[in-house]
Each structure stands twice: as structure tokens, then as C-alpha cells.
Amino acid sequence: MKKQKLLIIDDDEDLRTQMKWALTADYDVYLAEDRPSAIALINKEQPAVITLDLGLPPNPAGVEEGFAVLDHVLDEYGNTKVIIITGRGEKEHALRAVGKGAYDFFYKPIELDELKVVLKRAFHVSQLEEEQRELRQRLSGDTFEGMIGTSTKMQDIFSAIRKVATTDVPVLIRGESGTGKELVARAIHRLSIRGSRPFIPINCSAIPENLIESELFGHEKGTFTGAHVQRKGRFEMAEGGTLFLDEIGDLPLTLQVKLLRFLQEKTIERVGGREQIEVDTRIVAATNRDLEDAMRKATFRDDLFYRIKKIKGFSSQVIEALERYPWPGNVRELENRIKRSVIMSEGKKITLEDLEMQSVAGVKEHILLKDARETLEKDLIMKAIVRNENNLTKAASDLGISRPTLYDLMQKLGIPK
């Protein structure tokens, strides 16, 4: 397997040699000692990840040359991950670099085992982004998953399908009969991470009401006349894949309740059974009915509707809370909260309750200096702990304090060990 390219930019020859010796088994390592040699290698090799010391000749005591390299990368190769290597006394420069678009920063002296973890994560993110770009490029054009359309509206639909396919949340497709709702559902399935697993369609309006519950959820042996054996339903048949509920607007109210319970708990219960069965199935639904009118007439549950309706955005309170929250779990925490909120939201916009961030909204803009200091200390400590993977000794060293001092601060600030 071809190695991924890593460029190390540092004016310290001994450090360059040491890093190359330690990393050459995992990566195709290139070395540069100043801005001209670095830019030449970046343009020629286009490495996926770069480690960059901001202090480069002819003024290694300054940061101008390093920031010039960073600007070149961000302007010309925006997908490249740049990890800033800096001394502890130069943290403000590292934070400035991250603010401009650098991926992360790392303190000197270099701990190679820790650096390897950071590099592995950076290369993994880079690879995922590259795969997504290739997928979008491959799917671009006038023909898309069996559908043809050159108009702006159709291209917008294709773009929306690509975006929603990369998530794993329930989807509602709306349109008149004959407009290709099942084609859209199949495209969403094929482009998702579940694409190699089953796609199971069922038309909720084509099956008699007394049979559809058994069709969807299965039944146990002897439950009713003719139930000679245990039978799995469509939910279990679609395990790991996608269940397409066509004409969901015709689903009986009693089954809407069971569907809602599945969306909330990811479990089902067969007809005549008492066992809660965990099922990993994504729901894609479609309808040609006016569901808003059905809700007004009480023939379609509004809580189910909001579980499968497209989210329009965030409330203004959420935007403020997202900006104010310190995100100790970094991007992964943000991603997990957003995914969960899309599923749990009961309106068109995600709320603080959906994100479980009600407490963040109570933070005042004008606070005492003591409170501000404690907030900053807690933020920095939590980030250091996360960055050092819960190794408190390394976190303390990262913060420039002793381990006992870190313990005292954690106790004072209410940070669990």
C-alpha cells in the first residue's frame, strides 16, 4: 500500500532527522528547512499533512516566514492539514495559526508517541475528506443514480441527496405520485454507509390495515390463525440497511406510535411478542399527502412528523450557545450533538433543549473577573486533558503546572478525574 506524504518543515536539522527516523516507517517523509524549500516541496509533492515550525530562516526568532508558508498552503492547498510545532512560550502564535486555518498545534520538546497519535488522526481526517470529494466528483453531472436532469432545480435535488446520504438520520421525501420518490430513496441508500446492506421497500397504502403491523414488525408463532412459524418483519429484514416506507401518510395511527418508538429507542416488538429487539435500520419515508392537513385532522401524529421532517436550521439562542461553549470534546462532540439533535428535534429549528445546552444559555455577557478566570481555566484544563487522552501527568506538563496543582484545580473547578 502506498504511503501517505508527510512534510516536516523545521530549521533544526537534528530534529528533522529525528522525526524522519521515527516516522518513515509509516509515511513518505519529506524535509524542508526554510520557506523556499518548503514551498517547492509543497507544490511538487502536495503532502496530505505538514508539520510546521513557525520560526524559520532568515529570522528563526520571528514567525513571519512560518506564517508565509501557512498562508501559501491555505490559499493553494486548503485541504492540507498543517500541524504547528511551537514552544510553550509561543502559544499565542499557535492559536493565531489555528484561527487562520491550521489543523492543530503541538508543543516542543516533541514527544514522538503523542505526535504519532496527532498525525494519525490528521491523516485519517484528510483521507475521509478526499474520499468524499472523489465521491461528489464521480456523482456530478447530468445523470445521477438513474435520474436525469440538467435544470438548476434538479441539480439542487441531486446536491441535497448527496448531502443527506452522508448522514444517518430519518428522511422524508415529499412529492406527487410519479415524481420518482422511490428513485430518490434508493439513491440516498446507495450513497450512504449502508449502501451494501438491504434496501427494503413497503407501500403502506397497499397492505390491509389488519396485516401491515405483522408485515412491518413480524409476528411470533401462534399469535393468530395461520401464524404457524415465527416470522421477521420488514424492520428486521432491513437490518444494517434502509427501510423505505412509501406512502407513510396512510400508516394507521396505532402503527405510527410504534414507528415513533422505534425512532426514539431503536427497538421493535413483534406482534404477539414481549421481547424488545434492537434493530439497526435507517428510515426513509415518502408521501404524496398533505401531512400538515393530516395533522390538523388528527390522522397523522405531529410528533412523528417532526421526527422525520427536514430541519431548517438553528434558533438564535443555539447560535449564541454554540459560540460560547468551550467544546472540550472538539469537533467530535459538536458532530455527535448535532446528529442527536436532528433526531430529537420536534420543530423546524434545533433548540437548546435538543442540543442539551440549556445551561450554556444562562451565561451572561458581563461577568466578574474571577468568574471569567475560572471559566478560562476550566476550558484550558479540559482541552489539555482531552488532548492528552486523559493522561493527567501529560496534561499537567502541557499546562506548565505540577500534577498536584492540576488535581487541586480540577477539584476547585468541579472537573471529574
The fold of 4-136 is Rossmann fold (3.40.50)
What is the model's pLDDT at position 345?
59
What pLDDT is stored for residue 75 in this prediction? 87
Among 29-33, 104-108, 142-146, 219-223, name the most confident range.
29-33
Average pLDDT on 334-348 reads 64
Residue 363 has pLDDT above 60, yes or no: no
Q: Give residue limits of the domains in the chain.
A: 4-136, 140-308, 313-361, 369-413
313-361 to CATH, choices 3.20.190.10, 1.10.8.60, 3.40.50.300, 1.10.3720.10: 1.10.8.60
Domain range 140-308, its CATH number among 3.30.450.20, 3.40.50.300, 3.40.50.2300, 3.30.300.30:
3.40.50.300
Options 1.10.10, 1.20.50, 1.10.3470, 2.40.128; CATH of 369-413: 1.10.10
Task: Please report the pLDDT score of residue 28 as a whole number.
Answer: 95
Query: Is 50 exceeded by the pLDDT of residue 60?
Result: yes
Residue 365 confidence (pLDDT)? 45
371 pLDDT band (50/70/90 cuts)?
Answer: low
Q: Is the pLDDT of residue 206 over 80?
A: yes
SS3 letters for the chain?
CCCEEEEEECCCHHHHHHHHHHHCCCEEEEEECCHHHHHHHHHHHCCCEEEEECCCCCCCCCCHHHHHHHHHHHHHCCCCEEEEEECHHHHHHHHHHHHHCCCEEEECCCCHHHHHHHHHHHHHHHHHHHHHHHHHHHHCCCEECCEECCCHHHHHHHHHHHHHHCCCCCEEEECCCCCCHHHHHHHHHHHCCCCCCCEEEEECCCCCHHHHHHHHHCECCCCCCCCCCCECCHHHHCCCCEEEEECHHHCCHHHHHHHHHHHHHCEECCECCCCCEECCCEEEEEECCCHHHHHHCCCCCHHHHHHHCCCCEECHHHHHHHHHCCCCCHHHHHHHHHHHHHHHCCCCEECHHHHCCHHHHCCCCCCCHHHHHHHHHHHHHHHHHHHCCCCHHHHHHHHCCCHHHHHHHHHHHCCCC
**Mean pLDDT on 293-321:** 77
Return the higher-pLDDT residue of 364 and 394.
394
pLDDT by residue (tens digit) across 378-414? 878 888 887 887 888 888 888 888 888 888 888 888 8
pLDDT at residue 170 above 80? yes
The model scores a pTM over 0.95: no
Mean pLDDT of 359-376: 59
Check residue 40 and give its pLDDT. 95
For residues 94 and 52, the answer to whether their CB atoms sit within 8 Å is no
Average pLDDT, the chain: 84
Q: Do the two domains 313-361 and 369-413 of this chain adopt the same fold?
A: no
- Residue 308's pLDDT band, with cuts at 50, 70 and 90, is confident
